[in-house]
């Protein structure tokens, strides 16, 4: 899937959408499980309604939509009184297919022109200034990793100082990123603030308590009190993985720190009952690993 920005943009947008979708689902730190999701994501995108084309790519390619599970379960009824001649049925299918292709070609021409007009109106030069929030672009990955599955933009960072026209110093201290703070301006882009997005601030006095219809929630949605033999988790600091079970699950153990105890212990993932803490830890680990995969600009 090559990316050619000089083309009309239709295929390029589909490639970007598919690549970003695979990035979101890849969970293996070594990027080895992407093929488990590629086929299903491709089918989902090909059967999704396209805004520009006005139909699904699957129908425009084959002339028919794949049947869903519901359509396969529900009988369509008798066809004895209509389309008794296969030739007439084939003519109707071809006519509808031709009309759909003509409509798509017209919509594509309009979309290409509209996309070009919007791009020319929105693009404008910008200058990197002190205290500006920017994203840092890292386009090289370390050996053994796929660039298409890597995340390229990191941050945001604050511009600490402007050294010259082509170089700035980023405020790295206090962040989880470890890199050389002086970068070229071509690797930066400002963080966009969408002021036109609707915002509904929730203003509540400290003494008041907002009613979120908590009475409608099921009983098992509340944090239950600790039973006998259960302990409260304070934080998770490390993870190790081992062999696979006979069901294909990779056994993972987490180094758990308990409230009221000093010594942490290794606990199997199946024995943990702290979903929020586990989710936050795995998300931090994923973000850190994504950055470690990249090769910074000062590395050879």
226-264 residue pLDDT tens:
666 677 888 898 888 776 666 566 678 899 999 888 899
All structural domains of the chain with their residue ranges: 10-70+84-117, 125-217, 232-293
What per-residue confidence (pLDDT) applies to 300? 47
Using one digit for the tens of pLDDT, what is the confidence trace for 45-93?
A: 888 877 777 778 888 788 777 876 666 665 554 455 555 666 676 677 7
Multiple choice CATH, 125-217, 2.30.30.140, 1.10.1280.10, 3.40.50.300, 3.40.50.700: 2.30.30.140
pLDDT above 90 as % of the chain: 6
What per-residue confidence (pLDDT) applies to 169? 92
Please give the average per-residue pLDDT across 98-113, as a whole number: 82
Please give the average per-residue pLDDT across 102-123, as a whole number: 81
Q: What is the overall mean pLDDT for the chain?
A: 76
pLDDT bracket for residue 159 (50, 70, 90): very high
Res 137 pLDDT > 80: yes
What per-residue confidence (pLDDT) applies to 115? 78
What per-residue confidence (pLDDT) applies to 279? 85
Please give the average per-residue pLDDT across 210-229, as a whole number: 63
Tell me the Cα Rg of the chain.
Answer: 27
Using one digit for the tens of pLDDT, what is the confidence trace for 259-280?
A: 888 899 998 888 888 888 888 8
Please give the average per-residue pLDDT across 206-219, as a whole number: 63
Res 219 pLDDT > 70: no
Distance between CA 195 and CA 180 in Å, rounded? Answer: 32
Say which range, 32-36, 90-94, 97-101, 211-215, has the weakest mean pLDDT: 211-215
Res 42 pLDDT > 80: yes
Res 3 pLDDT > 50: yes
We find that the CATH architecture of domain 232-293 is: Beta Barrel (2.40)
Please give the average per-residue pLDDT across 187-211, as a whole number: 73
CA 163 distance to own-chain centroid: 35
């Amino acid at each position: 899937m090559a990316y050619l920005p000089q083309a009309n943009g239709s295929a390029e947008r589909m490639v970007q959408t598919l690549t970003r979708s695979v990035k979101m689902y890849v969970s293996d730190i070594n990027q080895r499980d992407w093929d488990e999701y590629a086929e299903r994501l491709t089918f989902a995108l090909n059967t999704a309604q396209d805004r520009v084309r006005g139909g699904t790519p699957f129908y425009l390619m084959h002339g028919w939509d794949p049947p869903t599970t519901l359509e396969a379960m529900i009988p369509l009824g008798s066809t004895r009184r209509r389309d008794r001649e296969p030739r007439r049925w084939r003519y109707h299918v071809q006519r509808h297919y031709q009309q759909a292709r003509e409509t798509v070609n017209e919509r594509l021409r309009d979309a290409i022109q509209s996309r070009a007009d919007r791009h020319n109106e929105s693009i404008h030069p910008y200058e990197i200034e002190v205290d500006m929030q920017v994203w840092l672009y890292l386009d090289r990955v370390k050996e053994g990793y796929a660039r298409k599955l890597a995340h390229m933009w990191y941050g945001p960072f604050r511009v600490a100082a402007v050294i010259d026209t082509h170089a700035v110093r980023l405020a790295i201290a206090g962040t989880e990123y470890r890199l050389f703070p002086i970068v070229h301006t071509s690797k930066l882009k400002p963080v966009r603030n969408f002021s036109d997005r609707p915002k509904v601030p929730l203003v509540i006095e400290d003494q008041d308590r907002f009613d979120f219809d908590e009475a409608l929630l099921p009983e098992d949605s509340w944090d239950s009190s600790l039973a006998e033999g259960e302990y409260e988790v304070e934080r998770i600091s490390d993870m190790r993985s081992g062999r696979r079970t006979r069901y294909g699950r990779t056994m993972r153990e987490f180094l758990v720190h308990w409230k009221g105890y000093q010594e942490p212990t290794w606990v199997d993932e199946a024995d943990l009952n702290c979903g929020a803490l586990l989710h936050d830890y795995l998300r931090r680990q994923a973000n850190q690993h994504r950055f470690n995969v990249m090769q910074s600009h000062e590395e050879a």
